[in-house]
């Protein structure tokens, strides 16, 4: 989730029974709820460095405990430095540490339901995990949290009661999205119809509750026309409403993508530069040629594929024999990307590697 949501959620928690820890609880919760995103400092090493470390160890077991203890130490020390009166209601270090660890843990747990995902076991295990229920910014969650703080009342009892209502509404929001997500997946056969092939023999996907990636990429099947088979179906949340979802169907040779409204069953499809789109899904190619496998071994390829859940690969050879390999991450790419029209948002979720006619890497970067 975004940092504003984490901050408002922490302020709401500070009005629950956790406030009994003493003075300093609110500061500890707010700092701890944002502490895992300290990995933003890795941007100093460039976008690729950030991609490697973002939502890594700071969101794992060591980060949860370490950042919690550090946050508690900062708050505890600040209280003693700036309060010469030594007020008796200051929270001791141990309660502050417990509250801070809870704050960091809840940050990680709030990142998990997003389609972006997180790596909760790093550095011991570097896979990404996601529930696909929430967008990075949920405007409804923000409204509920902000309203709960603004209209909380003045007494501790009123604030505590209001915080309970807000947490109940948050749970209802997550529950609604969970039901809508399941409905969107169930609509996939209707949306794609005959375009939905049989499952690949080697596919282990079975609609897990928690999605996990990256997965090994297999070489293309042998034969002149091996056909297409189904690898995975995902329903990804959108920003505007919990009832609109993006269906991403990963096939052995490409992706089919459509938007669906789970209430009306309406389908919007990707058809760039067309005012009257046909009611079929947009096919985006995924061509894993030998050049793509070579590019996957570069630093950019390795890190991007370690982050990307649905990488769509293409390779183009120019007149000089230079092969340009490009991956687009289908979770964050609009339909226009199929025609090579990338906006600023898509640039970060694209990787490019250039290979000369002798197989040497002559360029690699995020973006085009």
Closest among 255, 316, 312 to 291, alpha carbons compared: 316
Task: Supply the DSSP string of 62-100, one letter for each residue.
Answer: HHHHHHHHHHHHHHHHHHHHH-TT--TTBPPHHHHHHHH
Alpha-carbon distance of 214 to 348, in angstroms, equals 18
CB of 62 closer than 8 Å to CB of 94: no
Packed helices 93-111 and 25-34: angle between N→C axes, nearest 10 degrees: 40
- The residue among 83, 110, 106 whose CA lies nearest residue 24 is 83
Burial classification of residue 257, based on how many CB atoms lie within 10 Å of its CB (0-12 exposed, 13-18 middle, 19 or more buried): buried
What is the pLDDT tens value at each position of the chain, 368 positions in all? 999 999 999 999 999 998 888 889 999 999 999 999 999 999 998 888 999 999 999 999 999 999 999 999 999 999 888 876 666 778 899 999 999 999 999 999 999 999 999 999 999 999 999 999 999 999 999 999 999 999 877 788 888 899 999 999 999 999 999 999 999 999 999 888 888 888 887 766 677 889 999 987 655 555 445 678 899 999 999 998 999 999 999 998 899 999 999 988 655 554 444 443 334 456 788 989 999 999 999 999 999 999 999 999 999 999 889 999 999 999 987 654 444 444 444 566 899 999 999 999 999 998 76
Q: Residues with Cβ < 8 Å from 187, sequence gap 6 or more?
A: 247, 260, 262, 265
Q: Which residues contact 366 (CB under 8 A, 6 or more apart)?
A: 47, 48, 51, 300, 304, 347, 348, 350, 351, 352
DSSP class of residue 213? E
SS3 of residue 7 by DSSP: helix
pTM: 0.88
Q: What is the C-alpha to C-alpha distance for residues 71 and 77, in angstroms, rounded to an integer?
A: 10
Query: Rounded to the nearest 5 degrees, what angle is found at the Cα of 243, between the Cα atoms of 247 and 192?
Result: 30
Token pair recorded at residue 317: 């050879």
């Amino acid at each position: 989730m975004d940092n504003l949501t984490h901050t408002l959620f922490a302020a709401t928690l500070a009005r629950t029974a956790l406030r009994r820890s003493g003075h300093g609880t609110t500061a500890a919760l707010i700092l701890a709820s944002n502490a895992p995103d300290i990995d933003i400092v890795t941007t100093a090493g460039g976008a690729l460095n950030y991609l490697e470390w973002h939502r890594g160890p700071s969101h794992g077991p060591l980060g949860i405990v370490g950042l919690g203890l550090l946050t508690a130490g900062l708050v505890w020390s600040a209280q003693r430095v700036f309060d010469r009166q030594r007020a008796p209601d200051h929270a001791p270090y141990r309660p502050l540490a417990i509250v801070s660890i809870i704050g960091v843990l809840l940050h990680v747990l709030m990142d998990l339901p997003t389609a972006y995902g997180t790596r909760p076991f790093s550095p011991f295990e570097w896979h990404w995990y996601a529930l696909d229920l929430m967008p990075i910014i949920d405007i409804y969650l923000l409204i509920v949290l902000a309203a709960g703080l603004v209209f909380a009342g003045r007494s501790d009892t009123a604030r505590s009661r209001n915080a309970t209502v807000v947490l109940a509404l948050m749970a209802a929001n997550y529950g609604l999205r969970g039901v809508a997500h399941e409905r969107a997946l169930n609509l996939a056969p209707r949306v794609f119809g005959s375009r939905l092939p049989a499952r690949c023999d080697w596919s282990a996907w079975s609609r897990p509750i928690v999605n996990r990636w990256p997965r090994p990429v297999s070489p293309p099947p042998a034969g002149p026309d091996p056909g297409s088979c189904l690898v995975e179906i995902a329903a990804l949340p959108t920003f505007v409403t919990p009832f609109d979802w993006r269906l991403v169907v990963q096939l052995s040779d490409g992706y089919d993508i459509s938007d669906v409204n789970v209430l009306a069953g309406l389908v919007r499809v990707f058809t760039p530069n067309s005012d009257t789109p046909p009611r079929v899904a947009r096919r985006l190619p995924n061509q894993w040629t030998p050049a793509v496998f070579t590019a996957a071994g570069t630093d950019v390829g390795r890190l991007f594929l370690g982050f990307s859940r649905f990488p769509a690969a293409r390779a183009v050879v120019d007149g000089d024999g230079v092969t340009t390999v490009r991956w687009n991450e289908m979770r964050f790419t609009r339909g226009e990307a199929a025609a090579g029209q990338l906006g600023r948002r898509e640039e970060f979720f694209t990787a490019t590697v250039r290979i000369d006619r002798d197989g040497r890497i002559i360029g690699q970067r995020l973006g085009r």
